[in-house]
Amino acid sequence: MTSDLPELAGRGFLARGFAPADEPALQRVLESCADYYELVLGSPPRQAEAAAVSLDGPEEGADPAGKMLYGIWKPGGEELIGVLDMFSDYPHAGAWYIGLLLLVPEVRKSGIGRSVVEALIGVAQRSGARELQLNVVEQNAVGLRFWTSLGFSELRRWRQRYGTKESTFIRMRRLKAGADR
């Protein structure tokens, strides 16, 4: 985990790099998001899920190089309300990959997720990223609508087992204005 990332801030949140001391708070957030884990993986988060999120690469078997793990906090920084897991230059140079954006149920649909992504887009573009990519599973209809509403479009689909479920994955991307890829 890293705490030397640039801060992301916006309406209703402050995001900063994780420090090792933040891991128990991250575990509580992940456990409060059991609905997401059940939907996507078919099981609740593991007891050591925070440690796994801290170490995992962007996709199964991928190197975690370029990992940026952010905690999303309420303004004032006392209450962790979400997590953002990002990777620079993945799957190729000039692309940033969103591995996970997860908010506790109490703040979902409040606009904070949109505000986090808009702040992230600004930081990514200032850092030279030409596109953002992510995967969403087809059964996560709310997530799919969210990413589409933010200008992400489908690149491809494939079937894959993830956790105890076999799912259709949808690779999505959003190009920087004027990008030609």
CA separation for the pair 51, 53 (Å, rounded): 6
What's the confidence (pLDDT) of residue 1? 44
Report the pLDDT averaged over residues 146-174. Answer: 93
pTM given for the model = 0.91
Report the pLDDT averaged over residues 93-117. Answer: 95
What's the confidence (pLDDT) of residue 31? 95
**pLDDT of 66 higher than 70:** yes
Query: Do 137 and 159 contact (CB within 8 A), yes or no?
Result: no
Of residues 181 and 96, more confidence is placed in 96
Domains and CATH numbers, the chain: 8-133 (3.40.630.30)
Query: Do 133 and 173 contact (CB within 8 A), yes or no?
Result: yes
Of residues 163 and 23, more confidence is placed in 23
Mean pLDDT of all residues in the chain? 90
Q: Is residue 64 classed as helix, strand or coil in its secondary structure?
A: coil
What's the confidence (pLDDT) of residue 181? 45
CA separation for the pair 12, 93 (Å, rounded): 32
Helical residues (DSSP H) of the chain, grouped into ranges: 23-32, 34-41, 49-55, 112-126, 141-149
pLDDT in tens, 15-51: 999 888 889 999 999 999 999 999 988 899 988 899 8
Predicted confidence band at 177 (pLDDT cuts at 50, 70, 90)? low
